[in-house]
Structure 1
Amino acid sequence: MAVEKNFRIPVALTGLALMAACAGNDPVYSAFHREAGALLDTGHFGNATMNNTQVMSGERQYVYDLSQRFASEVMTTVNFAFNSAVLDNGARDTLREQANWIKQFPEVHFRVYGHTDLVGSEAYNKRLGLARANAVVAFLASQGISTSRLEAVVSFGETQPLIVTQGRERRNRRTVTEVSGFVASHPMVLEGKYAQIIYREYINSAVPRQVVTAVEGG
């Protein structure tokens, strides 16, 4: 019996130690012993309700549909020179096309993600990726897009390469523009007319495409 009791005591102490360790890592538990208001909202409160609302209203699906349309009808990516956030002529041409598309959807938010290749430190590349995203937002704003509908708040830095290589790779040095949601205060959105927004015809659709006839030489 003595041996059994002595065996149970260390086991019990081990359990208490594990509970204490887990409690120490639990912010809710640790906040119990602190002053009121010490535990602040980390930004996740209400996400479940918001997600359910978006699914039930169809908003989430409409955002996805519009994202697919945007990606299929314009180039969403621009590339950069090594260690640079300067837009070259090709990037500006692509962004003008993006701007013309975005202008036709004043009810929609867009987000620009910045990326780099794997050369350099993670911290430096994250700053560089964000600088590239900010350069794109600035150019789109110069084309008449309100900055209230444009975000450059996320930089993936070097963490999402298209081409996995440790060396320089232009295709990894890029920004990607995506649909991020709807302007909540817009009348069309308030009336729930998401489908009308998604399937709106282009202004340019009334202009017939030029047909190029190939002439073969002898």
Structure 2
Amino acid sequence: MAIFTSLPRTLTVLSALTMISACASSNTSEFNAPVGSFLDQGSFGNATMNNTLAQTGQIDLAVSLTERFAREVPNTVNFAFNSSTLDAASMSALDMQANWIRQFPEIRFRVYGHTDLVGSNAYNKTLGLKRAQAVVAYLSTRGISRSRLEAVVSYGKTQPLVYTQGPEVRNRRTVTEVSGFVESHPMVLNGEYASVIFREYITSGAPASTLSGTSGETTGG
């Protein structure tokens, strides 16, 4: 019974605090406002909360890092029709991938190969694998250990982005994703988190460079 009687009082206090915050926001600017005059809206504690959740296993770190990887660098490269050859745009994207990957030696990656819908299933399965292998080979020349490129997988023409029977460059792609961790206990955000962030900060200033691509072969999507 005490729980229910205290609930309205709690809601009243929260409402009052919200009104005070709104008045402060409307009557004074952030620049001129005294410290502490604005109520925290929740963002202040997010970093600590996320670290705690990660260390207690409540967040799938591989998923979180995959999402971050895709936000910060192009995780997809595209290919010419019936080709596994990396062009200049693909190599530029892979250079950015390699720069990101080098900052996190704790992480493993997997490369998925895809094709468009032109050609047979068997042929496109092979072609998709060649595309994934071309990406792995290139990343290895950029200083990424093959032991961290855990596997190359071909989906062939089974997962098109654009469903069309004709040639479609958006379907002719590879996708690089985080697949796991080098150590058996995947706790990147632990006591070594500061050193990881420092390493990321230092290596992020490394200048990009260019290198010739790899070649593929003929007939397929």
- Please indicate, yes or no, whether the TM-score normalized by the shorter chain is above 0.5: yes
State the match for 2:92 in structure 1.
93
Change in CA separation of 1:107 and 1:80 when aligned onto 2, cut-off 3 Å: same
1:82-134 Cα deviation digits (max 9, x unpaired): 00000000000000000000000000000000000000000000000000000
Query: Which residue of structure 2 aligns with residue 107 of structure 1?
Result: 106
The 1:96/1:62 distance shift into structure 2, 3 A limit, reads: same
Provide the aligned C-alpha RMSD in A: 2.5
Residue 132 of structure 1 aligns to a residue whose secondary structure is: helix
Counterpart residue number, 1:64: 63
Higher relative contact order (CA 8 A, sep 6+): 2
Task: List per-residue Cα deviations over 1:36-78 (Å, max 9, x = no partner).
Answer: xxxxxxxxxxxxxxxxxxx995286111111111010000000
- Flag structure 1 segments of 5+ consecutive residues without an equivalent: 1-54, 208-218
Structure 2 unaligned residues grouped into runs of 5+? 1-53, 207-221
Give the AA of the match of 2:189: Y
Count of matched residue pairs = 149
Q: Distance in 1 between matches of 2:99 and 2:172?
A: 24
Report what 2:174 is aligned to: 175
Q: Against the structure 1 CA distance between its residues 111 and 60, is the aligned structure 2 distance closer, same or farther, given a 3 Å change threshold?
A: farther
Contact 1:133 1:152 in 2 (8 A): no
Mapped partners of 2:118, 2:183: distance in 1 = 40
Offset of 1:161 from its aligned partner? 0.3
- Please state how far the C-alpha of 1:206 moved relative to its aligned partner: 6.8
In structure 2, C-alpha distance between the alignment counterparts of 1:142 and 1:60, rounded to whole Å: 33
1: CA distance, partners of 2:119 / 2:65: 35
TM-score, normalised on structure 1? 0.62
Does residue 1:153 correspond to 2:178, yes or no?
A: no
Taking the aligned partners of 2:58 and 2:154, their CA distance within structure 1 comes to: 25
In the alignment, structure 1 residue 77 sits paired with structure 2 residue 72:
no
Equivalents in 1 of 2:87, 2:142: separation in Å?
16
Contact 2:113 2:156 survives alignment (8 Å)? yes
Q: In the TM superposition, what is the alpha-carbon distance from 1:194 to its structure 2 partner?
A: 3.2
4+ aligned runs moved over 2 Å, structure 1: 192-197, 199-207
Superposition map of 1:35-46 within 5 A: none
Alpha-carbon separation, structure 1, partners of 2:135 and 2:90: 9
**Matched residue type, 2:168:** E
- Aligned residue identity for 2:86: L
Question: Which structure 2 residues correspond to residues 121-136 of structure 1 after superposition, within 5 A?
Answer: 121-136=120-135
2:99–2:204 contact (8 Å) kept in structure 1? no
Larger CA Rg, structure 1 vs 2? 1
Going by fraction, where is helix more abundant, 1 or 2?
Answer: 1
CA distance in 2, matches of 1:57, 1:155: 34
Identity of aligned residues (%): 61
3-state SS, counterpart of residue 112 of structure 1: strand
TM-score when normalising by structure 2:
0.61
